Structure 1
Amino acid sequence: MSKREFPAVTVVGSINLDIIATTDRLPTAGETIGGGMLHQQPGGKGANQAVAAARLGGSARMIGAVGDDAQGRLLLEAMAGAGVDTADVAVVEAATGTALIVVDRDGENQIVVCPGANENFSLDAVEFGADETVLCQLEVGLPVVLEAARRSSGYFVLNAAPAMELPAELLERCDLVIVNESEYALIPALATAKLVAVTYGKDGSAIFEHGRRVAEAPASAVSVANTIGAGDAFCAALVLALRAGLGYARALEVANAVGADAVGDPSSQPALAPLGHYLERTTVPAGADS
């Protein structure tokens, strides 16, 4: 395998404390379930993706906000400890964002996000380099995502989660959109978007150009411990793989392998090997770039 330079990835997004209750099964509406186990850990789609990019060997910078509280300090320390540049994370007079999560024995989950500080930051003092890859999600205000799209001049990626209607200006700016199959169905405009990667859980992933399926890769069989951070790890891996020059099918295969490791880890910010490990561990599909 030839040596590849990974791009600088700047993540604009959410930073949350995940408060997780693990139960035998998810409750139905109005139902109380006993016997749960409670723990908390760093999370937020933005922070998860920045940490994954850093652990995979990329240069990761986080732009977002935490509260001036113990939770915010914990999350800043966790990101910095993973190798993420947190100099542009604002500390604001609002509670740090929190996600309340219930996870069942199969790793399925229900999530309620209380955004807190994630709704209280701007990009006024932030600069983007022409060589930076910018990765956004939709757990922060849409105006912040639009501002990032307008101000960045490099490769721009949107993980369109949670699903919502996307302004035409934002969609046209995206070099790549990443969604799961439910989000793909909920955002009809993606059917004609420039480039869209879609994850299908146990059925793998695919890439569409203007609605035409141009590449796919199967998922790896794995025991599921937690699905919360798997999609975020997939996003970071796919962005790094594509920006390093891998072809679509090969990049999907590598990102699927990273996602498989992530679902086997109970953490929202799972321990990951450098991306080269996944390149060596996966096979090269016929006709795909190595």
Structure 2
Amino acid sequence: MSNPTIVVAGSINMDVVSRVDQFPRPGETVHGSEAQYMPGGKGANQAVAAAQAGASTRMIGAVGTDGFGGQLLGAIEARGAAVAEVSVIEGASGLALITVSETGENQIVLCAGANGKVAGTEIEAMERLLGEAGAVLLQNEIPWSANTSFMRKASAAAVPVIYNPAPAAKLDAAILPLIDTIVLNETETEAITGIAPEDDASLRSAAEWFLSGGIRAVIITLGADGCFYQDAGGESCRLQAYRLQPVDTTAAGDTFIGAYAAVRYGGITADASPQAALRYATAAAALSVTKLGAQASIPAMADVLAFMSSSD
């Protein structure tokens, strides 16, 4: 029997990336490096991360009829994720304007393009794939109405939903029970719960906020400080990050999420426990920050395993 599929519904963007010594202040012009065009989008990044970890992965979303659409589909497929369910919609593809500082931090301006038109056709595609799905991954770069439809379809089919509320937005209490695992960073945690995750006590308080609403597991990523996990069964742990010099942090969170889903729900390893998935995801995310770009920075499983072995 084949392994379950990781189904990712979300954004597909062309990232226009420029490096600067420091971010400009309001009204200031600074010189940047030559612009680079790199395939990205949170949905596409997470799909590539799951596929690079070895999971069977299918992407649901939309690109435009502009010159970027075909490039974006080809890039996802080249990294191992299937794109047959991605729609081609008249108009522009999604675009992200990304500035990266010398310290590896980034600022992003997002233009939705075709991502903003994800609707009925893509929901029908989700219905077709749920029978083979091990998990469904969602983010906040497509319309909320589509996300809630995906959640309801997956929940009705007893397929776990991994939800990344980025960019951050307030959550309707009614949808919380539809989410199996929520993965979010410190900024998103505070924006949604009102709790700044500054120490173990506040991390637990923030996690309980989500768990009390019906979500079954919470992962809070903490950048250079690793990640925190807590679930409805009372299991809790905190993992430290691997220390590597960052070049570009653009897709680190997406790499973490796709890698976690692959190990936890993709049937690729004998140990599919949350702890095993977190360890692998933390290592994959660490390697991703050492290269420029989104999908281009996402490491293959062999590289992650070698890194983990050398770091033990």
TM-score w.r.t. the length of structure 1 is 0.90
Contact 2:227–2:240 (8 Å) recurs in 1: yes
Structure 1 unaligned runs (5+)? 284-290
Which segment drifts farther, 256-265 or 166-175? Answer: 166-175
- Does residue 1:260 correspond to 2:262, yes or no? no
- What does residue range 120-139 of structure 1 map to in structure 2 within 5 Å? 120-122=117-119, 123-126=122-125, 127-132=128-133, 133-139=135-141
Contact 1:98–1:116 (8 Å) recurs in 2: yes
In the alignment, what sits opposite 1:202? 224
Q: Secondary structure at the match of 2:272?
A: coil
Between the aligned partners of 1:143 and 1:113, the Cα distance in structure 2 is 19
Q: 1:143 to 1:222 in 2, by over 3 A?
A: same
How many angstroms does 1:35 deviate by? 4.2
Between the aligned partners of 1:121 and 1:35, the Cα distance in structure 2 is 33
Which protein has the bigger helix share? Answer: 2
Q: 1:104 aligns with which of 84, 101, 104?
A: 101
- Does residue 1:272 correspond to 2:272, yes or no? no
Q: Percent identity?
A: 36
Contact 2:226–2:239 (8 Å) recurs in 1: yes
- What does residue range 174-185 of structure 1 map to in structure 2 within 5 Å? 174-185=179-190
How many angstroms does 1:157 deviate by? 0.8
- When the two chains are superposed, the root-mean-square deviation of aligned CA atoms in Å is 2.0
Contact 1:94–1:120 (8 Å) recurs in 2: no
Between the aligned partners of 2:3 and 2:243, the Cα distance in structure 1 is 28
In the alignment, what sits opposite 1:163? 168
Q: Secondary structure at the match of 2:263?
A: helix
In the alignment, what sits opposite 1:287? none
How many angstroms does 1:109 deviate by? 0.8
Q: Secondary structure at the match of 1:220?
A: coil
How many angstroms does 1:83 deviate by? 1.6
Between the aligned partners of 2:165 and 2:123, the Cα distance in structure 1 is 23
Structure 2 unaligned runs (5+)? 194-205
Residues matched between the structures, number: 278
Which segment drifts farther, 109-118 or 241-250? Answer: 241-250
Between the aligned partners of 1:147 and 1:38, the Cα distance in structure 2 is 37
In the alignment, what sits opposite 2:248? 226
Between the aligned partners of 2:18 and 2:190, the Cα distance in structure 1 is 29
Q: 1:200 to 1:76 in 2, by over 3 A?
A: same
TM-score w.r.t. the length of structure 2 is 0.84
Between the aligned partners of 2:32 and 2:276, the Cα distance in structure 1 is 43
Q: Secondary structure at the match of 1:187?
A: helix
- Does residue 1:151 correspond to 2:178, yes or no? no
